[in-house]
Amino acid sequence: MDRELYEELNAQVNRELFSAYLYLSMASFFDSIGLEGFATWMKVQAKEEFGHAMRIYDYLNDRGERVIFEKIEKPENNFKSVVDVFEKTLEHEKKITKNIEDLYSLAKEKNDYQSEVFLHWFINEQVEEEKQASRILEKLKKIEGKEHLILMFDKEMGKRGEEK
């Protein structure tokens, strides 16, 4: 595997782990203000991000490469509101989408067909990630300031992970 591509895939493992860390920070915020449903949603999201990291970890391992873990930076933990959290969630997912697109472009540039195919899953996953965050944010903006509706939405958000 091309060294530059390997290094960028390795960096993406670390970015995905940071994402899990960030979503756990958001879950902690929600737990601290009594919104356990939103906290549950974020905990499930953190598990998904960890799963994304492991998917790349396994891929690199399958290609004969070793993952090197870097220091994970401290995630933000100062949030103003539920809307603020989901604005930051959407912003973060857009940043991850850009990272994945850059990885795909690099794989194409290096003629690494296996990595191109591998990254298709992530490209599709990011469409879903951005869609989810965007739709939740749209709903939250409509009900912002209406505590009873936030509490109802919190209950709905807590059902994530039960659908299986």
CATH number of 3-157: 1.20.1260.10
The predicted pLDDT at position 162 comes to 67
pLDDT digits (tens, 9 = 90+) for 91-138: 999 999 999 999 999 999 999 999 999 999 999 999 999 999 999 999
pLDDT digits (tens, 9 = 90+) for 34-76: 999 999 999 999 999 999 999 999 999 999 999 999 999 999 9
pTM to 2 decimal places = 0.94
| pLDDT bracket for residue 163 (50, 70, 90) | low
Long-range contacts, 32-35 (Cβ 8 Å, 24+): 35/82, 35/150, 35/154
Could you write out the DSSP letters of every residue in 88-130? HHHHHHHHHHHHHHHHHHHHHHTT-HHHHHHHHHHHHHHHHHH
